[in-house]
Structure 1
Amino acid sequence: MADANAKRGSQAARPLSPHLQIYKMPINMLMSIVHRITGGALYVGTILVACVLVAAASGADAYNTVTSWLAWWPGQIVLIGYTWALLHHLAGGVRHFIWDTGHGYALETVDLLSWGTLAFSATATVLIWGYVLLCTGGAAP
């Protein structure tokens, strides 16, 4: 009984939870979170695509109005962000498909696939928009 009372007052020798200053988020966790965020962003972006299609079906005036908003620099930022979200979500889906087949569970492969998702989406976005801006003379459609 005396031993039990003595232990109650003493601090247990166990590790403390990591604080935000110590904890480093793994890349695969970050890419999983970003995959979910880009999935949500694609819902909003798809409404934008639908607006462009409806404007195109409505006539030249409506289409010119919508594309003039998208040709302005905030509209281009939205389009570039939508392109990146689409490509990132695509690459994340391929990464998850690889895992669904039972492959790629080694920690090095998980990290490689996660960094590859980010590298692919960023590189493909730059290449696509570089091509668009090069072909249109510096102004997005």
Structure 2
Amino acid sequence: MAQVHDARDALYDGKRTDGSAIRRPMSPHLQVYDMYQMSSFLSIGNRIVAVIWSVGLLFMVWWLVAAGSGPRAYASVQGFLGSFIGVIGLFGLTAAAWYHTLAGVRHLVWDAGYGYSIPDMYRSGWAALIGTAVLTVLTWIIIVVAWAS
């Protein structure tokens, strides 16, 4: 039986500066992460939220272009954003914005050299998650109060 060789294996073969052969490591991917670890869960979640936030920016551009295009286009966008689906989407974008912001602050603290111990990492992770929930609800309470008055 013939042995099948993967051409990508050649990328892992290398040499040290002294000329001795080595096998380069493979970068980790989703299959090696334990999604039940706080650090993996929040890291992957932050990447997903960044994509959601980018999509939200497209809605903001749509809204701005419609505002500059005239009352009819603006009313169309406002109609969508004021619909049930639009409000749910805006609520989700608010949560995404707060989570991405709080996770970014968490990373800045790490960049300053703090919070690397496992208990600190869990505390800051829970703080980011709870802070996201509290700030999202608080933001929408302010929005509803301002909208009603």
Give the TM-score normalised by structure 1.
0.78
Residue 64 of structure 1 aligns to which amino acid in structure 2?
A: A
> Taking every aligned residue pair, what percent have the same amino acid on both sides?
34
Kindly indicate whether residue 86 of structure 2 is the aligned counterpart of residue 86 of structure 1: no
SS of 2:115's partner is coil
Aligned to 2:42: 31
Using the TM superposition, give the Cα deviation of residue 58 of structure 1 relative to its aligned residue in structure 2, in angstroms. 0.9
Between Structure 1 and Structure 2, the one with more strand by share is 2
What RMSD over aligned residues (CA atoms) do the two structures have, in Å? 1.6
Deviations 1:55-105 (Å, cap 9, x if unpaired)? 111112211110111101000010000111011001111111111111111
Aligned to 1:3: none
Q: What is the total number of aligned residue pairs between the two structures?
A: 116
Unpaired segments of 5 or more residues in structure 1?
A: 1-22
Alignment of 1:111-126 (within 5 A): 111-126=122-137
**Matched residues in 2 for 1:92 and 1:45: separation?**
18
Give the TM-score normalised by structure 2.
0.74
Deviations 1:3-50 (Å, cap 9, x if unpaired)? xxxxxxxxxxxxxxxxxxxx7712222111110100111111110010
Alignment of 1:93-108 (within 5 A): 93-108=104-119
1:59 paired residue among 61, 64, 70: 70
- Provide closer, same or farther for how the CA distance between residues 32 and 75 of structure 1 changes in structure 2, counting only shifts above 3 A: same
Structure 1 segments (4+ residues) deviating >4 Å: none
